């Protein structure tokens, strides 16, 4: 049974009907709060288990390994999809994980966040998964300032409506003594990209992923910190260290023996020469904006959206930056592709093909043979494209209506093979 806390968190406020007492000096206001709901660890662990396939109701983060897609559904768990036949993908199972947002897979072990904890699940049999490890307090910034308390774990939020009557000359403390802000919006999906797996059977992750596998280490990022975990024993990772990066961190992308980290303020490049102690090589700042980053060869590709500064030639505040990273210690902005995108989001590159999701404007396909002079080959419209992973001629395109499977072996003539649609809420 869920155990409810008496602590309340204000997420939204609605000004209600003003009413006056006989002295005409009072005001009545209506507020909506969310109250945290806790469980003891044993209850949480018991709830992490496999079940029969269930309808997919919302987009999440992607990890791909072999013929399986692992798709998180915000705060619910992970769907397992068999796409050995891309023309007929099959939803074959579900792993319930409360508070799940990000994920990665090594060998046959799934790593996922469970609110502030990290869980490891054996997925060798996708229809009969088993929890192998539960590491608490790995992601403390998932809820800023909120401690589980008494050994309990936050697992849900319960909406509470209330009415406050106060005098005109007094203030109602809407911060509730400085209590927390729910950070799910920051952690939820905005885009993804293919990051090639290395040794050990690591999954393909994404440009908006916050989990990155490189060799036998798992790197995760929060608002300002990076966790390093040793996954040489895939079933039982060990925590190595936490190190500060800076504020407003959003994404992490492994490439060769480096990490490209995107923040709302710029791109950071870390060396993994010492894989237990990532070392900052350089950073390149830009205007404040959402910032997924990928790298290939001598270049990094950065899409920006929601920029605080738009221009006459780029009124959408969204563009693509090309950065020369041949010298990782001195990244140089080479070119901005502006005036093309309405809301550039996830991106993926495969050889000379660059795929960029552009929100309601669909999927844009570029000939990237010459990165400094890329040509827009085609635009596929009709859906709100959020995320794409490119896999040797097969594009997995995350959209608001479902997961699209597209053949891009002929980039100028992309063919949709199938779509796995989301259920209506």
Q: Say how many C-beta atoms besides its own lie within 10 A of residue 183's C-beta.
A: 17
Residue pLDDT, tens place only, 299-353? 999 998 876 555 555 666 789 999 999 999 999 999 999 889 999 999 999 999 9
Residue 285 pLDDT class (50, 70, 90 cuts): confident
Quick one: pLDDT at residue 5? 41
Residue 1 pLDDT class (50, 70, 90 cuts): very low
CA separation for the pair 399, 205 (Å, rounded): 17
Quick one: pLDDT at residue 37? 76
Q: Mean pLDDT over residues 203-226, rounded?
A: 91
Lookup: tokens for 246: 């800076």
For residue 199, give the H/E element and its range. Answer: none
Q: Per-residue DSSP letters for 211-230?
A: EEEETTEEEEE-SSEEEEEE
Q: Which of 178-182, 314-318, 371-375, 419-423 has the highest average model confidence (pLDDT)? A: 371-375
Quick one: pLDDT at residue 169? 57
Residue 21 has pLDDT above 80, yes or no: no
Residue 177 has pLDDT above 60, yes or no: no
User: Among 144-148, 218-222, 297-301, 370-374, whose mean pLDDT is lowest?
Assistant: 144-148
Higher pLDDT, 294 or 248: 294
Vertex 93, ends 87 and 98: CA angle to 5°?
A: 130
Q: CA quadruple 370, 371, 376, 380: dihedral positive or negative?
A: positive
Can you give the pTM of this predicted structure? 0.82
Q: Per-residue DSSP letters for 98-141?
A: TT---EEEETTEEEEEETTEEEEEE-SSTTS-EEEEEETTS-GG
Q: Mean pLDDT over residues 284-296, rounded?
A: 78
Place of tokens 């209600």: 16
Quick one: pLDDT at residue 30? 76
Quick one: pLDDT at residue 316? 65
Quick one: pLDDT at residue 266? 86
CATH superfamily name and code, 43-139+185-421? YVTN repeat-like/Quinoprotein amine dehydrogenase (2.130.10.10)
Domain ranges in the chain are 3-38+146-179, 43-139+185-421
Quick one: pLDDT at residue 229? 98
User: Among 14-18, 169-173, 256-260, 397-401, whose mean pLDDT is lowest?
Assistant: 14-18
Residue pLDDT, tens place only, 83-104? 999 999 999 999 999 889 999 9
Residue 192 has pLDDT above 50, yes or no: no
């Amino acid at each position: 049974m869920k155990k409810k806390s008496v602590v309340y968190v204000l997420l939204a406020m609605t000004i209600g009907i003003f009413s006056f007492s006989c002295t005409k000096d009072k005001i009545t206001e209506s507020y909506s709060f969310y109250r945290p709901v806790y469980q003891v660890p044993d209850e949480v662990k018991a709830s992490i288990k496999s079940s029969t396939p269930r309808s997919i109701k919302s987009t999440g983060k992607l990890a791909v390994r072999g013929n399986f897609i692992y798709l998180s559904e915000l705060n619910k768990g992970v769907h397992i999809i068999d796409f050995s036949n891309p023309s007929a993908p099959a939803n074959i199972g579900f792993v319930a994980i409360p508070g799940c947002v990000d994920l990665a897979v090594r060998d046959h072990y799934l790593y996922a966040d469970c609110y502030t904890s990290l869980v490891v699940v054996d997925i060798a049999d996708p229809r009969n998964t088993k929890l192998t490890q539960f590491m608490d307090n790995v992601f403390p910034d998932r809820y800023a300032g909120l401690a589980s308390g008494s050994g309990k774990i936050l697992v849900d939020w319960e909406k509470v409506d209330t009415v406050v009557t106060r005098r005109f000359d007094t203030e109602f403390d809407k911060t509730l003594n400085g209590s927390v802000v729910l950070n799910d919006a920051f952690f939820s999906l905005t885009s993804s990209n293919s990051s090639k797996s290395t040794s050990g059977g690591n999954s393909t992750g994404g440009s908006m992923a916050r989990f990155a596998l490189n060799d036998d280490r798992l790197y995760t990022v929060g608002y300002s910190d990076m966790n390093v975990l040793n996954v040489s024993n895939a079933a039982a990772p060990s925590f190595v260290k936490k190190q500060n990066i800076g504020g407003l961190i959003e994404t992490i992308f492994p490439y060769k023996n480096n990490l490209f980290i995107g923040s709302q303020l710029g791109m950071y490049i870390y060396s993994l020469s010492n894989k237990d102690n990532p070392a900052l090589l350089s950073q390149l700042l830009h205007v404040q904006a959402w910032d997924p980053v990928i790298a290939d060869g001598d270049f990094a590709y950065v899409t920006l959206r929601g920029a605080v500064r738009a221009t006459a030639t780029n009124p959408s505040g969204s563009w693509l930056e090309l950065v020369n990273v041949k010298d990782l210690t001195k990244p140089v902005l080479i070119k901005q592709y502006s005036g093309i995108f309405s809301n550039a989001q996830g991106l993926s590159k495969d050889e000379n093909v660059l795929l960029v999701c552009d929100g309601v404007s669909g999927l844009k396909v570029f000939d990237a043979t010459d990165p400094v002079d890329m040509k827009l080959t085609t635009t596929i419209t009709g859906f709100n494209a959020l995320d794409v992973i490119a896999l040797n001629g097969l594009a997995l395109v995350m959209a608001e209506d479902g997961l699209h499977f597209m053949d891009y072996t002929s980039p100028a003539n992309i063919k949709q093979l199938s779509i796995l649609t989301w259920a209506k809420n």
